[in-house]
Amino acid sequence: MLLIRIPVFGPTLNEIFAYQLTAGLFQLNWDNYILRTMIRMLLAYGLSVGFALVYGITAAISRRAEQVLIPILDVLQSIPVLGYLPGAIVVFLTLFNGSIIGQELASVVLIFTGMVWAVTFGVYGGVKTIPKDIVEAARSFGVRRAKYLRDVVFPALYPPFISGSILAWGGGWYFLIACEYLSFGTTRPYTLPGLGFYIFKAALDGNIAASLFGLLILIAIVALINRFVWHPLMDHADKYKYESTALPTHRKSQSQLSQWLLRKSREVSEDLAKVVEPVVSLEHKYYAHSIRFRHVNLLSHAHIGAAWHKYSRFGRIIGTAIGILLVILFFEVLVPPRFPEAIHQFMLRRELAMIPNYMLGSVARLLVGYLIALSWTLVAGIAIARSERLFNIMLPIFDIAQSVPALALFPVVVTVVIDYFHGSEFGLELASTVLVLTGMQWYLLFNIIGAVKAIPSDVIEASRCFGVRGLGFIRNIVLPAIVPAIILGSIQAWGGGWNATIASEYIVTSTKIYQVPGLGYMLDVAVAKGDTPLVLVAVGLMAGVVFLMNRTVWHYSLKRVNKYKFEG
């Protein structure tokens, strides 16, 4: 029997509110945790939008710029975003003489790096996939420059821009929480007060109930913003879409939860129902759309993967070189001027001998997490996409679950799992793998659902007509149809997984340091010691592994399964 000993589940609500940090959650001034967290998110999102529009549109419109900009993008996005954290913090603290502004800006920049790629890909893909006849029509009627941007480019990129923004916003939550945790969890003397900080601090102080309370508030905020900002925007953006074949049809149906909510609110009063109705009436559209949008975003990623081979060798080399240079430059600022000496000292480090071990540890953890994630999401994804009923019940649940930054669950998972195994090696590994899994699974699940939904209806009809049913249907139709989506989902999942290793291989609590050997651990320790060369090596290694895997395993498989794509 699984009897989990949760240390502090006792305290009443009163005790939660009495918890010293609660003040920061509700006080009405600039120290309010929720407010500060939100400001960080908004600033980072604003920056991302600005960057994405300029970079994405330039890359998509100018053939020459594209040759260099896209390879740069490809290198930069290969780096696990959390790898930027130490650099960003040091740079900004130095620039602002260690003031709070520098620290805040560092976190904003980090969240920005977590958001910006999805929006940029959305913008770039949106412009690149404008149907050729529309581009030609615009040219033939002399629509150029500002008018071309206004009448053709902006409307076309609106839907993928919104879908990219939704992904970015979700990713932003993850990195926001990471900033607030990591800046706290290491031995550095500064903290970044906010909702994530509260959740982590409460857990470390042994007040699991208060931590869960903070988590609940976080989930509520995430869900409310999705419902009142992103859902309506998504609905609106849908009008700007070019009709495309092979997109999932959406049926108007509401989840059981919405129907129940509406019924209950009717029972209470008609006025309440009037408020609830427009909110839930958006929902049925939203879930069908959100799946569709994810699919569109996936396609623009696929587009970039395919486009890579179109660039001239010159463009690829220059672009990659500039990308790598930018990364080195970024970290170069950290390394003292005596760079050669630093390198000399560095070569003597004994940590270097451990690198193969660390690499193996991280990769093994990721592989286990990936296999578990792939198995459950395959079964669940196909079942959900094939059944209208399951789709309506499960999608709202998964939608909220995936928007909760996985990192926010870490304190609870760590405390519960490690405690259950009495801090044994196995418990540590298990906790770490679970955390990695949470960073990977949603990419796979939503990609799979989207791909199953996108199987053209004539293909489904043909298989029914010829009696292809049950397992034969899964084996002959569904699995081959979703292979490209699984590969693209895997690329994203491994990216997410690497980020998770940084947060999950080295966890500092007030009483103890939990650690498992891996690249994430190496990076964290290097950051904690302020050992910049080692940070650079750890980040470089991670980026190298991610980049190599993308260029070899994933792009190779993508090319192989090219024949699996339906012709549009």
Partner 1 sequence: MAASAVLQIQEVSKIFEAGDHKVQALDSVSFDVYPHEFLCIVGPSGCGKSTLLRILDGLDYATSGRVLFKSEPITSPSPKLSMIFQTFALLPWKNVRENIELGLDAQGVGVQERRERTAKYIESVGLSGFEGAYPRELSGGMKQRVGIARALAVEPEVLLMDEPFSSLDELTADTLRREVLDIWREPTKVTDTFIMVTHNVHEAVFMADRVIILRARPGKLVADLVIDLPRPREKYAHTEGFYKYEQEIISLIEKNSGPTPT
Residues that bind partner 1 (CB under 8 A): 252, 456, 458-459, 461-469, 472, 476-477, 480-481, 483, 561, 563-567
Q: In terms of CB distance, is 199 or 477 closer to partner 1?
A: 477
CA 9 remoteness from chain centre: 31
The 3-class secondary structure across 58-85, one letter per residue, is HHHHCHHHHHHHHHHHHHHHHCCHHHHH
Residue 484 · residue 565 · CB < 8 Å: yes
Nearest-angstrom CA–CA distance, 93 and 439: 29
Provide, rounded to whole angstroms, the least separation between the CB of residue 565 and partner 1.
6
If phi > 0 it is left, if psi is from -120 to 50 it is alpha, else beta; for residue 495 that is alpha
Nearest-angstrom CA–CA distance, 536 and 546: 15
Q: In terms of CB distance, is 151 or 461 closer to partner 1?
A: 461
**What letter represents residue 18's amino acid?**
A
Nearest-angstrom CA–CA distance, 454 and 94: 50
Provide, rounded to whole angstroms, the least separation between the CB of residue 148 and partner 1.
30
Provide, rounded to whole angstroms, the least separation between the CB of residue 409 and partner 1.
38
The answer for residues whose C-beta is within 8 angstroms of residue 125's C-beta and 6 or more apart is 160, 296, 297, 299, 300, 301, 303, 304
The DSSP element (H or E) to which 513 belongs, if any, is strand 513-515
Nearest-angstrom CA–CA distance, 224 and 218: 10
Task: Report how far apart the first and last C-alpha atoms of the chain are (Å, whole number).
Answer: 53
Provide, rounded to whole angstroms, the least separation between the CB of residue 552 and partner 1.
23
Of 218, 249, 222, residue with least CA distance to 453 = 249
Residue 88 · residue 103 · CB < 8 Å: no
Provide, rounded to whole angstroms, the least separation between the CB of residue 36 and partner 1.
43
Q: In terms of CB distance, is 63 or 469 closer to partner 1?
A: 469
Provide, rounded to whole angstroms, the least separation between the CB of residue 395 and partner 1.
19
Provide, rounded to whole angstroms, the least separation between the CB of residue 566 and partner 1.
6
Q: In terms of CB distance, is 141 or 566 closer to partner 1?
A: 566
The answer for residues whose C-beta is within 8 angstroms of residue 262's C-beta and 6 or more apart is 254, 273, 276, 277, 280
Nearest-angstrom CA–CA distance, 69 and 315: 9
Q: In terms of CB distance, is 325 or 462 closer to partner 1?
A: 462
- Write down the residue that tokens 């199987």 correspond to: 455
Provide, rounded to whole angstroms, the least separation between the CB of residue 466 and partner 1.
3
Q: In terms of CB distance, is 148 or 564 closer to partner 1?
A: 564
Q: In terms of CB distance, is 463 or 515 closer to partner 1?
A: 463
Q: In terms of CB distance, is 192 or 486 closer to partner 1?
A: 486
Provide, rounded to whole angstroms, the least separation between the CB of residue 128 and partner 1.
21
Q: How far is CA 284 from CA 29, 241, 288, in A?
A: 38, 19, 7
Q: In terms of CB distance, is 46 or 480 closer to partner 1?
A: 480
Provide, rounded to whole angstroms, the least separation between the CB of residue 471 and partner 1.
11
Q: In terms of CB distance, is 356 or 470 closer to partner 1?
A: 470
